[in-house]
Chains A and B, each alone.
Chain A
Amino acid sequence: MTPAIYAVWVICLATGWCLMEALAPSSGSSPRWIGALRQLALGALVGPGLASLGFFAMILAGITASAKFWTMLLVLLVASAALLLRLRGRRLRERPFPRPLPVRFPGRWAIAFAAAAGLGLFVWHFWVTLQSEPTGGWDARGFWNLRAAYLARGDGLWQLALRQNAGGLPTDPFHPSYPLFLSGFVALQWVLSPGLDPVVPAATALVFCLACFLLLFTSLAETKSIVLGLLGGSVLMDFRILPKAAADQLSDIPLALALLASVVLLDQAACVHVRPAETQSDSRLRYRWIAAGLVLGLAPWIKNEGWPFVLATGAAVYWRFGRGAIRWLAAGAVPGLLGTLTVKLLGDGVEFFIPRTIGDVLAKTFDPHRWWQILVGFGSRVIQAGHPWAHPVLLLAGLAVVLRLAPPPDRRARVWLCAPVLTLMISYFGAYLVTQFDLAWHIETSANRFILQVWPSLLWLSFSMLRAPEDAFTEAVSKPEIPCEVTKHGPAKVDLLGADGQISKIATDIVN
Chain B
Amino acid sequence: MPATVAAKSLTKENSAKAAQHSNGINSLCREGRRRTTTASFFIVIHHTSGKFHGPVIDKVLEGILGPIMEALGSPRQWAVILVCWGVAALALLAIGFRRASGDGAAADPFGTKEEQVRFAPVLKHFPPQSTLGIITDLRRNFDDTPLMEIRFVLAPRQAFVVEPNRAKPEWAIGVFRDPVDPIAAGAALGYEVIETFETGLVLYHHHPQ
A, B from the same assembly: yes
Partner-B contacts on A (CB < 8 A): 101, 105-107, 110-111, 114-115, 117-118, 121-122, 124-125, 128-129, 132-135, 138, 141-142, 145-146, 149-150, 152-155, 157, 160, 166-172, 174, 196, 227, 230-231, 234-235, 237-238, 240-241, 243-244, 247, 386-387, 389-390, 392, 395, 398-399, 401-403, 469, 472-473, 475-477, 479, 482, 484, 486, 492, 494, 496-500, 502-503, 505-507, 509-511
From B36, B43, B155, contact of A146 by CB (8 A)? B155
Residues of A contacting B156 in the complex (Cβ-Cβ under 8 angstroms): 149-150, 152-153, 160, 196
* B10 touching A125, Cβ below 8 Å: no
Q: Closest approach, in angstroms, between the C-beta of B62 and any C-beta of chain A? A: 11
Q: Does B60 contact A (CB under 8 A)?
A: no
* B92 touching A110, Cβ below 8 Å: no
Q: Which 3 A-B pairs have the closest CB atoms?
A: A492-B28, A244-B104, A390-B94
* A506 touching B85, Cβ below 8 Å: no
* B158 touching A167, Cβ below 8 Å: yes
Q: Does B149 contact A (CB under 8 A)?
A: yes
* B92 touching A132, Cβ below 8 Å: no
Given contacts A107-B85, A505-B6, A506-B6, 19 further A-B contacts (CB under 8 A): A111-B84, A132-B106, A167-B158, A230-B88, A237-B95, A238-B90, A240-B103, A398-B87, A399-B87, A402-B80, A403-B83, A469-B80, A472-B77, A473-B77, A497-B17, A497-B21, A498-B18, A502-B9, A510-B3
Partner-A contacts on B (CB < 8 A): 1-3, 6-7, 9-10, 14, 17-18, 20-21, 23-30, 32-33, 35-36, 38-39, 42-43, 73-74, 76-77, 79-81, 83-99, 103-110, 112-113, 128-129, 131, 144-145, 147-149, 151-152, 155-156, 158-161, 166-167, 169
From B20, B87, B103, B113, contact of A234 by CB (8 A)? B87
Q: Give the distance in Å from the alpha carbon of A472 to the alpha carbon of B111 in the complex.
A: 55
Q: Give the distance in Å from the alpha carbon of A310 to the alpha carbon of B122 in the complex.
A: 46
* B33 touching A476, Cβ below 8 Å: yes
Residues of A contacting B92 in the complex (Cβ-Cβ under 8 angstroms): 114-115, 117-118, 121, 234
Q: Closest approach, in angstroms, between the C-beta of B119 and any C-beta of chain A? A: 13
Q: Closest approach, in angstroms, between the C-beta of B61 and any C-beta of chain A? A: 14
* B28 touching A484, Cβ below 8 Å: yes
* A510 touching B39, Cβ below 8 Å: yes
